Amino acid sequence: MTPNVVEPGAGRARRVAGVLGLALPFLLWAGLVVVPVWLQASHVCFSHYDLGIYVQGLARLSLDDVNPWLSARQIRIFNDHFDPVLWVARPLVGVLSPMWAALVAEVLFVLLATAPLLWLHVRGQLDGVSTALLCALLLLSPSTLDAVMYPVHPTTWSMLPLVVLGLAFHFRKHALLVASLVLLFACKEEFPYVGIMLAVALWLRGDRRLAVGVALLSVAWLGFVIGVRPRFGPVVDYTERLKSGMQAGLGPFLAERLASRNLSRLGTLLLLFLPVGIWAWRERLRPDWKWLLVLLPMLGIRFLGMAWRHQYGAPLFAAMVVALVPLLLARRPPAWVLVLTGVLLITSNQSNLRPLVRTLASPSTFPAECPGDAQRLASVWRGVEYLSTHREGKALLGGQLVTPLASRDEVYAVGGPQGAGTLVYDWVLVETPGRGDVWPVKPERIAALLARWRATEGAEILIDDGHVFLARGRFSDMP
């Protein structure tokens, strides 16, 4: 009998195919998601909520002012959400503008969420097929695309510490577990509740001393956020969202949260795990159910707050992806699992991929509300540059213009929390109605204000070219 001989060329071809297969999720994510989102950011497409908030926070964060006041949000940055992870991104402001520092930081946090999986692959503990599957789920799920397409949020950044936390839990790396837990807590005030459930999981596993330490750390962090933080100034009470509608009774309260429009994204999220779930069931492989306990606080908060989209799904999905690691360490999934998962990723992302691809194909005309038209952008940046060099006085801006002017003092957004009619502004800078994301106001409101500002006595109109309106004077935003 002639022995089987592997030709050197065939072995090299398999290695190249393996490298390309592992690189594919990263190439697709960079080309189809990151590039068009950054194009839109460069075309001033995003609202003050929330890109402008965090860009202004990064621009003003310093050792001299560790909790800076945000004029456009009318609150100190860490009295809104408590997310000191922003300090990790702060050094980027030394080499990039605050907007690009925020965008790059978000991409790095999401990208680095795959690093622990790649490390397992390099060490030979996780095969290439399983690594590619996990990385594709992390980078290309609708939850991740939703988050990256709605920049920037430290909730999205929590993907990295959650992946590290899950692997530290599985491999019993206690120091790494505590370090990643602290970084997770720093992403948002909801995550200490995850810590409490992690303590329960550790206790049930028999790690009693570590469980007590994690519980104490979680309770202490919550105590600071809930009990101590308000002493430094007013805080935003986001628990009101969780109780919204309760006054109508328990039945209507639950019915609203169980409506298909609220739960459809959860269904999409679970659908992506169907192929690997069927395979694991057939192979009698089970995830570590104790790790799944950490999902409960995130599920509860999202259910009560009806918050499954945008940045809210990313950490939940990351924690679920980590739950697959023990299964894939035990056995390599067959080809049909990869194919079906890939098909589901494509079909479930149609609503996200269409605008991203159109942005790539026609950046000068799409999106319609913020095209990369050369004349529009020239007018926008002329107005931004003027206010950047004339820093005195209060400036009222269209919401999308807060981000490029985040380093300037006394910037406010039309429709912002300062309240209509409460301030008199020395400058106004807005785009033509229908341009830019001016949420929460509508273009009709901008049109009405423009008509009044043009007629304001003593107003000095500096730009009014059909793209941008910039004027100096004494202006009100009273409806």
Q: Is the per-residue pLDDT at 6 higher than 70?
A: no
Q: Which residues contact 145 (CB under 8 A, 6 or more apart)?
A: 33, 349, 352, 353, 356
Digit-coded pLDDT (tens) for 218-266: 999 999 999 999 998 999 999 888 998 898 999 999 999 999 888 888 8
Per-residue pLDDT band for 469 (boundaries 50, 70, 90) equals very high
Q: What is the pLDDT of residue 17?
A: 76
Q: What are the domain boundaries of the chain?
A: 8-42+113-360, 374-475
SS3 (DSSP) at 310: helix
Mean pLDDT calculated for residue range 460-473: 97
Q: What is the pLDDT of residue 9?
A: 61
Q: Are strands 395-397 and 425-431 parallel, antiparallel or unpaired?
A: parallel
SS3 (DSSP) at 11: helix
Q: What is the pLDDT of residue 10?
A: 61
Q: What is the pLDDT of residue 67?
A: 96
Per-residue pLDDT band for 346 (boundaries 50, 70, 90) equals very high
Digit-coded pLDDT (tens) for 391-450: 999 999 999 999 999 999 999 999 999 999 999 999 999 999 999 889 899 999 999 999
C-alpha distances (whole Å) from 363 to each of 39, 40, 52, 160 are 8, 8, 22, 31
Digit-coded pLDDT (tens) for 274-298: 999 999 999 999 999 999 999 999 9
- Please check whether residue 107 is in contact with residue 149, taking contact to mean a CB–CB distance below 8 angstroms: no
Residue 88 burial (CB count, 10 A): 17
Mean pLDDT calculated for residue range 29-47: 97
Mean per-residue pLDDT over the chain, rounded: 94
- Please check whether residue 84 is in contact with residue 55, taking contact to mean a CB–CB distance below 8 angstroms: no
Digit-coded pLDDT (tens) for 353-376: 999 999 999 999 999 999 999 999
Per-residue pLDDT band for 74 (boundaries 50, 70, 90) equals very high
Q: What is the pLDDT of residue 7?
A: 56
Work out the percent of the chain whose per-residue pLDDT is above 70: 98
> 394 is written with which tokens?
């209060």
Digit-coded pLDDT (tens) for 115-153: 999 999 999 999 999 999 999 999 999 999 999 999 999
CA dihedral over 244, 245, 250, 254, signed as positive or negative:
negative
Q: Is the per-residue pLDDT at 25 higher than 50?
A: yes
Whole-prediction pTM: 0.94
Mean pLDDT calculated for residue range 380-387: 98
Of the candidates 418, 417, 412, the one whose C-alpha atom is nearest the C-alpha of residue 430 is: 412
407 alpha carbon, distance to own chain's centre = 22
468: which strand partners? 431
Alpha helix locations (H) across 224-273?
239-243, 250-257, 260-271
Q: What is the pLDDT of residue 2?
A: 46
